[in-house]
Structure 1
């Protein structure tokens, strides 16, 4: 027979597992409510009703709706950072063009598989949500910025002088972006930060149009449109596109 200490530990493990499962369900329901009714549909009372719980029970997991929103953003953004980093790192470090394409394709794939998460991070603000000091997901945001800037740095020697009619200064950029660049890349010039923003904009723009349904009536092949844009992005950096044929 189990002694009381072993039984207590098993009980604690079971409670922790059930709590983790309930917390995950709360987040899943919140994203579903957002998909069905927009960001203002996320309320703790609505989630409790969907799960057959009392509002008081929900408050035992998240003290406020904003706590839940912050947790959702942190989890979603972290998942995105994990996905694009894994895709990039599956490609040899010396193949900058293929690593950039892998990052871009993984970004689009994640967004299409997680449209509510994409909208939560990049799109619809949740009415009344107060972002905590330092941001909702500072670590994931830093990883995403550092990843794009790292790809720019790897391509920098292949790139012709950029935007000869624009002069960039460190003060043109948010300190968080500058800090992400300085972490391991202290000699990267301000023009590289501008290039990183432009690369991110080209990746994000078409994905956002697709997630929000704006390409639906324009093309039956949004994947080809996106890949063509990413191949053009690669060649604009003076890199050789690994596969110029549209898929």
Structure 2
């Protein structure tokens, strides 16, 4: 069987990867502590794929408490070279409504106080090139896998990463719209930047669970609505990941 190449990080509502067979569980420690939970490593066709639930399999970790450094380092230590991040988000602009899957190509970081680098004061800091925050070639591979699997995915868009865990105000979303954001989530950073520091090819599939504050007359956002929309938008993910793993 081939070595691990692809890792998938699941967000809110995605706590397992249904396509995985012959699953092995690994509990890892890293120099940055323990990851959010066990790594589930299994087979998709002839490919070995690792899966990690970002918030823990029982969703115990809010976005600002996730140990992003440990998560990425654990995936790197398993041998993964490509990381597909599944992020549950809100939609801001018209093409990014509930139940849409999107593969953004840009990112704005509004988070604060998170461990955003592997540099801990020893040696020279690493200033990585981050002009294109998602690895362009890998992002194209994700889009190609989606087309081959017949899964509709919106190509492009800007992800705005907010601190959380509270949802945003109408005014904050209005500012993000003016800044050029199409999507809003709480886990896109520092994850993408840390992946770049480790030399991992990293791309995001954003699962739109609801309209962001003030973007629709939908009333108060409920958890039941969010989870229903995540389930609907995620229905084609096993086929997409299978195609991606083959490549």
- TM-score range normalised by the length of the shorter chain: under 0.3
Say which structure is richer in strand: 2
- Structure having the higher Rg: 1
TM-score (norm 2): 0.27
Task: Give 1 or 2: higher helix fraction.
Answer: 1
TM-score of the two chains, using structure 1 as the length reference: 0.27
Q: Which has the higher contact order (CA 8 A, sep 6+)?
A: 2
